[in-house]
Amino acid sequence: MHEDVLRDVSSLFRGASAACLDGLLRRTIEHRVAPGTVLFDQAELPNFQIVLVAGSLQLFGRSGTQREVLIEVVRAPDLVIPAAVMSASPYLLQARAPEASHLLLIEADAFREAVAAEPGLAQAVIATLARQFRRMVRQAKSLKLQSSTQRVGCYLLALSERQGTPGQAHLPYEKHIIASELGMTRESFSRALASLEPAGLRVEGQVIAILDRDRLAAVAQPDPLIDPDARDDGPDASSPVLSAGAAPLHRRS
């Protein structure tokens, strides 16, 4: 696996020395999972630091045997909840792969030791934790400050931007999952979409056409301090913490 996988995750580990990474890789299991695979459940203690190399993971929160809501989505390349691994605390979420994904499993103890031993790796973990924390803060603000319809509108705006298609947004999952991510029911999500049609929206299955971006923005009132920002969203955003004294591991040829 070595060369190509390392390149894929180099943005995560660019602060770590090659020697350290080699040592870590020896205690690493490469893993490919099919759609629907559950990586771990709520309340379990982390056995591995999972590194998402390709694909994505959905993180669900569950209440009793009742409902189950999407709290967060992890997109490659990223670390999967380093907060649980580093604090050796039970997972608060369940992780499921919505698509075929490619993972590295690093023994939790080995990972913690490597982070303690290798300052560059610690920097990378800090950057990841900080980014993920800020995403959660944005979500909390969104849930407390925006209406359902606003959240839907902002979600679509952000989605189309992330997908590089200003005129449309392709919903990445079933609508009921997106609804739970946005803190509402599928029915409310459906109605919110319908209510946004006057604002220049057309629903065509999983594809939402955005006919008038400005009008949608006027209704949804996106806020740069709430709704996703490129800076916080991708691990490849240029982040000062990574450049501080860290030599790049790989050139992206």
Partner DNA sequence: GCATCGCCTTGATGCAGGTCAATGCCGCGC
Partner DNA sequence: GCGCGGCATTGACCTGCATCAAGGCGATGC
Strand residues in the chain grouped as ranges (E)? 28-33, 38-40, 48-54, 56-62, 68-75, 78-80, 94-96, 101-107, 168-170, 201-204, 207-210
Q: Using CB distances below 5 to 8 A depending on partner kind, what does residue 188 bind out of DNA, its own copies, none?
A: DNA
Q: Where in 155-214 is the site for DNA (CB under 7 A)?
A: 174-176, 183-194, 203
Residue closer to DNA (CB basis): 193 or 246: 193
134 lies in the binding site for DNA (CB under 7 A): no
Q: Using CB distances below 5 to 8 A depending on partner kind, what does residue 73 bind out of DNA, its own copies, none?
A: none
Residue closer to DNA (CB basis): 87 or 206: 206
Residue from 112, 152, 153, 235 in contact with its own copies (CB under 8 A)? 112
CA 226 to chain centroid, in Å, comes to 16
SS3 195: helix
Cα–Cα dist 144/135, whole Å: 14
Kindly state the greatest CA–CA separation across the chain. Answer: 58
CB of residue 189 vs its own copies: minimum separation in angstroms?
A: 13
CB of residue 164 vs its own copies: minimum separation in angstroms?
A: 23
Place of tokens 């967060």: 72
Residue closer to DNA (CB basis): 11 or 142: 142
Contact residues for 71 (Cβ-Cβ < 8 A; gap 6+): 59, 60, 61, 93, 139, 181
Residue from 196, 199, 226, 249 in contact with its own copies (CB under 8 A)? 226
236 lies in the binding site for DNA (CB under 7 A): no
Cα–Cα dist 1/143, whole Å: 41
91 token code pair: 């997972």
Judge contact between 68 and 93, C-beta under 8 A: no
185 token code pair: 């029911």
Site of interaction with DNA (CB under 7 A)? 147-149, 174-176, 183-194, 203
Site of interaction with its own copies (CB under 8 A)? 42-43, 61-64, 66-67, 69, 71-72, 82-84, 86-90, 92-93, 112-113, 115-117, 119, 122-123, 125-127, 129-134, 136-141, 143-146, 180, 183, 221, 223, 225-226, 231-232, 239-241, 244-245
